[in-house]
Homo-oligomer: A and B are copies of this chain.
Amino acid sequence: MTYRPTQRTSLRRLPERARYDPETVHSILDEGSICHVAFVVDGQPYALPTGYARMGERLYLHGSTGSRLGLRPGMDVCVTVTLLDGIVLARSAFHHSFQYRSVMVLGRTELVTDPAEKDAALTALVEHFMPGRSADARAGSRRELAATAVLAVPLEEVSAKVRTGDPKDDEEDYGLPVWAGILPLAIQPGEPIPDSRLDPTVPMPSYVREWKR
């Protein structure tokens, strides 16, 4: 099975970077921590960074009830997750690029009303960026659940873009005495910083100490 490319998700430029298989799409979505959601309010587009989670073929986002410029049900959106894997240093300035993997999901936000799905999505939103955490943190109260809107976007109109491998230079530039290659980049955790009000007898969980992407 692959996601069917549409006119809106087909790459005309550099089509060799396009991927439509769920394995690639899911792996990028699951590795990312935040997404950027594009939406339109009064004709103006916005790109909003926010958390997300995937369960099966649905993406979940927090709605924001208090914000004028927040996400609402029934909005046309583009959810983009980008993993910056490196800097591509070619011999010519023109062929410099980024090593990256990205996913674009086009769709319309749906309010999640089913209590079981909403509960699972809220757990997934925490587990997505910190696996293991939801077993420790105090679960949402009825009041907190009521104050939180969860939105779903189905994974239907989806594409991934993947750039890997060496720089691409023009053939006549390969003889230039210019270093070329990839500088890999990755998100690395630092030393965890305990809350200044933390009870010092509470141990740091292993999922914090051993977090990685």
**Which residues of A are interface residues toward B (Cβ below 8 A)?**
8, 11-13, 33-34, 36-40, 43-49, 51, 64, 66-70, 76-80, 82, 84, 86-87, 89-94, 96, 98, 100, 102, 104, 106, 122-123, 126, 129-130, 133-134, 136-141, 144, 148, 166-167, 173-199, 202-205, 208, 211
Contacts and interface: CB of A to CB of B under 8 A. Distances in A.
A129 to B, nearest CB: 6
A122 to B, nearest CB: 7
A90 B103 CA distance: 29
Contacts of A204: 179, 181
| Protomer copies | 2
A136 B178 contact: yes
Nearest to A195: B180
Given A91-B138, A102-B49, A186-B188, A166 B195 contact: yes
B82 A34 contact: yes
A93 B137 contact: yes
Contact of A144 (B8, B68, B94, B186): B94
B98 A51 contact: yes
Nearest to A32: B84
